[in-house]
Structure 1
Amino acid sequence: MLSSDRAVAASRWRPYAVVLAVYALSRAVSAVFIVVAARAQVAVPASLSSYHQTVPGQIPARYRDVAVNWDAQWYWDIVLHGYPHTALGPDGQPVQTSLAFYPLYPTLCRLVGRATGLDFSLVGPTVSLLLGAAAVLMVYRLVATAVGADRALLVVTLLCTAMAAPVLQIAYTESLGLLLVATALHLLQRRRYGWTVVPIVLLGLTRNITVVLAAVVLVHWAVRIHTARRGGDDGERVPHLRLGGLLLVALAATATWPALVGVITGEANGYLTTMKAWPGFTSSPLHPPWVQAFAGAGPVAWVLGILVVVAFALVMSRPSVRAWGPELWGWTVAYCGYVVLTTSASSSIFRYLLMAFPFALVLVPAADGPDRVRRRLAVVAVLVAVGLVTQWYWVREFLVLAGPNFAYLFP
């Protein structure tokens, strides 16, 4: 009896061990890419004002020096100095400040740093790496609940080998954001509405994407109403009050950090003020940066952009895709729309799209026979190979500070 219980427990945890093995192996490969590419890193010129450097890295660069490039320097600034008390420069104009970066991740790093005595160049990447492990486990559980364990493992594999997946082990917020998004979606999927409040509130202190979860709550709510009207859910009543409260929490969480910035600076629009200093910023989704980019690129860009939007809409409207459930489907549609409406056409788009992980299910459809399973695995193998090649490119061209124009790549 005891051995039987152990066998059941082992079979229950084995998929999670496989997920962690995939994560560990992929992160090891990315680490090799970073170490090799680090040889090309150059010192940041003191005269270069477009790159914020809190602590100069060692040259020749090590893994830890590359892992705290770009936005990580802003988080290091927050860990060492906290936040400034204004979003304006001496001339009264908006300037780039750490107020643009949300506080939960640097707060975690500061606490770990104090507990261990290690500096941010070690703590930041390590915290991200561990949070990333928790995130892929939650992604697996979320997707497995919706479409099954086999496809969930393939989604995790594609996520871990995506072009910008090395961001999961550098001092950025993608790991924490991915963990909180997947947790919120899974709790919503299980209808644990009270607990869903926790990751939503924390996400409001991590990334400016909480409004997307508000859209997902609306989709989930609409599906529950539709199901109830058709006599589904075994007659269970739709909890309108709890879902309405959850929607309000998601909307309020969207405004949490901008409101706190107003308190810190005494400037009501302090967050938007500092954001205006970044290239590609837009204060309204009615004027998306992508439209501005297309306006100067000619009619071919417009045609291609429209074709991409139409193709995406057609794919996401397929019954097999809607069968993912309102949480995965709603997040994918709303998040991709949010990225298009609010972000600029830069290389950052590759790491932003890591959050659109459910879209990988389009590439690994359900397979009802041995032949289709083999074809699906072959497709995944090709995609993994392509992903690893593009990872090397992303690390070499976007992450490492190499060449005279590195400060304008916006990773």
Structure 2
Amino acid sequence: MQHSNPELWSLAGLTAVSGISALLWPAIAWAATGDIQAYTRTESVWRGGDLVPFKPWFDSGILLFGPALGVVAPFVFVAAFALVLMSRPVRALGPELRLWCACYLGYLLLFLHPQTSTFRMLLPLFPLALSAALISRSRAYRGTVVVMFLLLQIVWIVWLWAWAPLPGGGDYPP
């Protein structure tokens, strides 16, 4: 799909406005409190420590895969995501949705502390799931994809219903 220069400039402008808008809340918090770190301090209260971009992904990688593989895991995740973004079905979604997914994942990598809410936080990447339907033109395949996603929703809901608080307390639902 070829795009004209005006379309690309519009997309670049939209990206710039979105980026500036992302800085608006921290600026408002700073203006309201007089503390330049008001926004990040408020957000980091949830994790019990200071906000250090990217670090929680490495910490979680080490926790899940050990000290050697854990350091590599975030890089593997980003590489796999890049391959998905460059795949034919995802390219068919167009540059706007691909850019949205790339920017949103970048935001998550910078600021999200991977935890039980990570699945919920990944839901805005649903356009990537849409691309699964573009792999084949077969009606049987596309019907299977729809059924699979519906079944996965049932699994998700059952998981939420079966969730129980941690033995020592805490509120960490999936």
TM-score computed with the length of structure 1 as normaliser = 0.36
Give the aligned residue type for 1:374. A
Question: Could you list the runs of 5+ residues in structure 2 that have no partner in the other structure?
Answer: none
Residue correspondence of structure 1 range 234-313 to structure 2 within 5 A: 237=6, 240=9, 246-279=14-47, 283-285=51-53, 287-296=54-63, 297-302=66-71, 304-313=73-82
Match of 2:139 in 1: 373
Whether the aligned pair in 1 keeps the contact of 2:56 and 2:112 (CA below 8 Å) is yes
Match of 1:391 in 2: 157
Shift of 1:270: 1.6
- Relative to structure 1, the CA distance from residue 257 to residue 341 in structure 2 (aligned partners, 3 Å threshold; closer, same or farther) is closer
- Relative to structure 1, the CA distance from residue 262 to residue 338 in structure 2 (aligned partners, 3 Å threshold; closer, same or farther) is closer
- Relative to structure 1, the CA distance from residue 393 to residue 265 in structure 2 (aligned partners, 3 Å threshold; closer, same or farther) is same
Distance 1:315 1:246 in 2: 23
Distance 1:392 1:309 in 2: 30
Give the aligned residue type for 2:46. W
Whether the aligned pair in 2 keeps the contact of 1:262 and 1:268 (CA below 8 Å) is yes
Match of 1:151 in 2: none
Match of 1:351 in 2: 120
Choose 1 or 2 for highest CA Rg: 1
Distance 2:144 2:96 in 1: 28
Whether the aligned pair in 1 keeps the contact of 2:89 and 2:131 (CA below 8 Å) is no
Distance 1:335 1:363 in 2: 19
- Relative to structure 1, the CA distance from residue 244 to residue 334 in structure 2 (aligned partners, 3 Å threshold; closer, same or farther) is closer
Whether the aligned pair in 2 keeps the contact of 1:261 and 1:271 (CA below 8 Å) is yes
Higher helix fraction (1 or 2):
2
Distance 1:361 1:377 in 2: 13
- Percent of paired sites with the same residue: 29
Shift of 1:332: 1.5
**Higher RCO, Cα 8 Å, sep 6+:** 1
Question: Could you list the runs of 5+ residues in structure 1 that have no partner in the other structure?
Answer: 1-145, 147-222, 229-236
- Relative to structure 1, the CA distance from residue 280 to residue 346 in structure 2 (aligned partners, 3 Å threshold; closer, same or farther) is farther
Shift of 1:384: 1.6
- How many aligned positions are there? 172
Shift of 1:404: 3.8
- Relative to structure 1, the CA distance from residue 281 to residue 325 in structure 2 (aligned partners, 3 Å threshold; closer, same or farther) is farther
Superposition CA RMSD, Å: 3.2
Shift of 1:265: 2.4
Distance 1:335 1:405 in 2: 34
Does the alignment pair 1:407 with 2:174?
no
Residue correspondence of structure 1 range 77-116 to structure 2 within 5 A: none
SS in 1 for 2:155: helix
Residue correspondence of structure 1 range 198-217 to structure 2 within 5 A: none
Shift of 1:395: 3.8
Shift of 1:319: 3.1
Does the alignment pair 1:364 with 2:133?
yes
